[in-house]
Amino acid sequence: MDDGKAAVVLVIDDEASIRLGIVVAIRRHGLQVIEAVDGRDGLQKAKQYLPDLIISDVMMPPPDGFELKHLLDADPATASIPFIFLTARSGKEDRIAGIRDGADDYIAKPFGMEELLARVDALLRRVQTERQHGRDQMAEIARQDMDKLRAEILQNFHHELRTPLMNIVTPLELAVNNKFDDPVLQSNFLRTALSNVDRLESLVSDIIILSNIDQGNLNSIRQPIDLNVHLLNPIYKRLERYKAKELNFTHQIIDEGEIKAARREFTQSVLHIVDNAFKFSPQNGHVNLTIDASTNGGVKITVSDDGPGIPLELREKVFEKFYQISQGDTRQHDGLGVGLTIARAIFRHSGGDVTITDSPKGCLVLAELPDIRPEDIVYG
């Protein structure tokens, strides 16, 4: 009914002659019809076909029409299907009982087919109008949510870009325009600038990778990974950002097999996972990185911390793009909220995955990259 197709009407009546007459009339009226011989058959076909409208006799072998309506109301899949009762009981109390039991309309036997078809058309129009109104409301809510998210993203981009830029420009201007008697002070200004260059470069890399993900253009060439150059050095450099937290970071290499992955993307992925552990760890918290390389290019990486952890119901939600940003004014940490999005996309692109697993305390993230596959492009 929503896509231009004729509405589907389920007719339930244990009297074959009445059922046949209704079915023929409705079919000639241009609607699709399914017929059921009693309440039990009607219940099964209602759940199987999910019709747009049900016309049901009241007096039938169990379940009768009222019982059938109660059973359909108990199932979320069929509860919203509009319902017309047909009955030979035409008293006012019976009509009120029918409406009270959830019927959208109530027609007393005997009835004219023109009356029945008019009631069917009116009810289908009403349902169509209500559904369209509901879709319009949902579309408006989605538009408002998207506008809010877009504003939050733009505001956060402004903050994430402007902060490191200011922390680059200001120290450099001071270093260039002032003569420092203390070389240590001048060195501190330059170090501040360099640190923010690294922060800005990481942000730009994220934006580029996100664009490649959206366009399906991620780098898939697997090259040898030098654990010190491509992994540990960038991680310890990132740890400097959290110097004030005095974190206890340790790393363990279980097997020094040669990892093969897309270098820049692999580094960025693991860096994001570890950075999250640094970010959400408490003062003097512990963060541990374990690297278990296989003999044919694969690796298993675990990152654990003793921070607040992630509830089970949010363990997939945190992989959504901009999830952190979408918490609006309640957001407590810097960042674009794309770190885990990027990490999972990159690992999955090479047949692996990034997941959050059970941990006695804090958060435990597992990143797995499979061994070299026949379809992989390998260089070096």
**DSSP string covering 21-40, please?**
HHHHHHHHTT-EEEEESSHH
Instruction: Encode pLDDT of 15-63 as tens digits.
Output: 999 999 999 999 999 999 999 999 999 999 999 999 999 999 988 888 9
How far is it, in rounded angstroms, from Cα 325 to Cα 149? Answer: 8
Q: Are strands 299-305 and 353-357 parallel, antiparallel or unpaired?
A: unpaired
DSSP E strand stretches across the chain = 8-12, 32-36, 53-57, 83-87, 105-108, 221-224, 248-255, 260-261, 286-293, 299-305, 353-357, 363-369, 377-378
CB-based contact 245:287 (threshold 8 Å): no
CB-based contact 55:69 (threshold 8 Å): no
Instruction: Encode pLDDT of 88-98 as tens digits.
Output: 765 455 555 55
How far is it, in rounded angstroms, from Cα 227 to Cα 293? Answer: 10
| pLDDT computed for residue 324 by the predictor | 60
Instruction: Encode pLDDT of 322-374 as tens digits.
Output: 666 444 444 444 555 788 999 999 999 999 999 999 998 899 999 999 999 99
Q: Which of 168, 255, 131, 267 is nearest to 209 (CA)?
A: 267
The segments of the chain whose pLDDT lies below 50 read: 91, 325-333
Residue 59: strand, helix, or coil: coil
Domains, the chain: 8-111 (3.40.50.2300), 137-214 (1.10.287.130), 221-378 (3.30.565.10)
| pLDDT computed for residue 330 by the predictor | 46
Taken as a whole, the chain contains a residue count of 380
| pLDDT computed for residue 117 by the predictor | 92
CB-based contact 316:326 (threshold 8 Å): no
